[in-house]
Amino acid sequence: MSEAPVVVPAPPGPVVPGGTEDRAPRRTLVALVVTELLLSFALATPLVATLSLKVNEIAPGERTSVLSLVAAVGAVAAFLLNPVFGHLSDRTAGRFGRRRPWIIGGLLAGLPAAVVMATATTTVQLTIGWLLAQAAYNAALAALSAVIADRVPPGRQATASGLFGAAGFAGVVPGLVLVGMLPGRTVLLFLLPAGAAAVGGVLAWYLLRGEPPLDPAEREPVSVRSVFTSLTFDPRTSPAFTIVWGQRFLLQFANSLIGALGLYFFMARLGMSTAEAAALLSVTGLFSLAGNVVSAAVCGRLASRTGAYRAFIIGSGLLLTLSMLLKMTASSVWPVYVASALAGIGLGAFYAVDLALVIRVMPHSADSARYLGVFNIAKSLPQSIAPALAPLLLALGSDPVVRSGDGNYFALYAAGALAALVATALTPLIRHPRLTRD
């Protein structure tokens, strides 16, 4: 029988020498926001466009299957490597601290990975390049997320979480702009985002200076067993963490379930051509993105002031549920616009608060990067599961709203609404001594 880990309250962020407790988080927040923005830019641009463009060059006759293979390998690498790198970061001893070496190392390593992808002439080379990029950027992301737990005082963690989430959403925008400015310039579309991320690593190294090194006497050894253990947690000893993990999984599952099929939904339900559906997808995507960024920034700040994390979780879950119910019954354009805006606001609010919430309920603060890595699995794993389940839901009879014969989108969105509603209903079960204000 294993011994339950001792729950240690998260320590306040250390004070940077020469500054005050109030000033130290401000510099930390700048590092978090700018670095996450540039990291997201480097990760999102291939997903948005450049992998598709490169696959079209390498294997135009098999582009769908090849792109699915490359994306699947990257997704598996992301959800496996993030907690592993977090585990290694937690146990890194040296005068530069636990987080900074992994942040700058990961962001600099993304540049040669981008070169491999930019110069790829075969599917194998492109897959290896994307695998290396996922490994590099997840090493940086695991350490960067833990900075909030390590160095931001508890009263400001929701603000940091909100700004961090907003930066992650906003990182998609430079990629979209770059693709529009440099159509067909695949090499530059790979290298410029990776170069920007490398600059972000250098900036983070400078702004996050003053991180106290891990005391070698407190450093737990790294072993093969400990690495494999870093991918799991015991729900019995951390029920609050388990529930928050489940909520993120369900909401991301709902979002992923319908995200990849938006183009086909517009064509089937609204009778649009491919070009019309693509244009509407772009507009609604901007609606959703704007809601993500604004909601994440605003709700993170409000949650810091009120401490009502669970109230924001409930609100975001209900907004996502309502969004899916609107799309479930939509047969015209305007409900789609409203649903996209609601989904953007709801998802932004959720990702603004859930990181700060999970920091509160983590079983062991000394393993913050490891547990945040496990928490990130709840975001990446549904991106692999949902696309496989979507065709089964579409095959459940005919769509009662528009009988187009292209699949039952009513069932698809109903499943998404159910997942979001279940996630919302779990919120009252989150109980923890450090959650006292809602």
* Closest-CA residue to 373 (of 107, 38, 153, 80): 80
pLDDT for res 360? 80
| 184: region left, alpha or beta (phi > 0 left; psi from -120 to 50 alpha) | left
Rounded CA separation 313/424 (Å): 7
The predicted structure's pLDDT at residue 231:
66
Give the pLDDT of residue 108: 96
Between CA 40 and CA 141 the distance in angstroms is 9
Q: What Cα–Cα distance (Å) separates residue 225 from each residue in 87, 142, 222, 229, 363?
A: 12, 20, 8, 6, 19
CA distance 88 to 110: 19
The whole-angstrom distance between residue 436's C-alpha and the CA centroid of its chain comes to 27
What kind of architecture, by CATH, is found in domain 23-154+171-215+223-232?
Up-down Bundle (1.20)
Looking at residue 286, its pLDDT comes to 80
The dihedral through the CA atoms of 347, 260, 245, 430 has a sign that is positive
pLDDT at 23: 44
Distance CA 247, CA 241 (A): 10
Q: How far apart are CA 275 and CA 180, in angstroms?
A: 17
pLDDT at site 24: 47
* Cβ burial, residue 278 (10 Å; 0-12/13-18/19+): middle
Under 8 Å CB-to-CB from 296, ≥6 apart: which residues? 162, 163, 165, 166, 169, 348, 349, 351, 352
CB contact set of 21 (below 8 Å; sequence gap of 6+): 12, 13, 15, 153
d(CA 406, CA 394): 8
Identify the pLDDT of residue 366: 64
Phi and psi torsions of 297, nearest 5°: -65, -45
- Asked whether this chain's domains 23-154+171-215+223-232 and 233-438 adopt the same fold, the reply is yes
Cα distances (angstroms) measured from residue 260 to each of 60, 117, 253, 298, 393:
20, 23, 12, 28, 14
| pLDDT reported for residue 160 | 83
Identify the pLDDT of residue 3.
Answer: 38
Question: CB–CB of 194/42 below 8 Å?
Answer: yes
Contacts of 188 (CB under 8 A, 6+ apart): 182
Quick one: pLDDT at residue 221? 66
Which CATH code for domain 233-438? 1.20.1250.20
pLDDT in tens, the chain (438 residues): 333 343 333 444 343 333 444 444 778 888 898 999 999 899 888 877 788 788 888 877 776 677 778 877 887 888 788 888 887 888 887 788 888 999 999 999 999 999 999 999 898 999 999 999 999 999 998 888 888 888 888 777 778 888 887 888 788 778 777 877 777 788 888 999 999 999 999 999 988 887 777 666 566 666 666 666 666 667 777 888 889 889 989 988 888 777 666 767 888 888 888 778 777 877 887 878 888 888 888 888 888 788 788 888 899 999 999 999 998 988 888 998 999 889 889 988 888 888 888 888 877 666 777 778 788 788 777 876 776 787 888 888 888 877 766 788 899 899 999 999 999 999 988 876 566 555
Please state, in angstroms and as integers, the Cα–Cα distance from residue 69 to each residue in 74, 340, 377, 381, 434, following that order: 9, 29, 19, 15, 43
State the sign of the Cα–Cα–Cα–Cα dihedral 70, 71, 73, 77: positive
User: What is the domain partition of the chain in residue ranges?
Assistant: 23-154+171-215+223-232, 233-438
The angle that helices 23-45 and 172-181 make with each other, rounded to 10 degrees, is: 40
Please tell me the pTM assigned to this model.
0.73
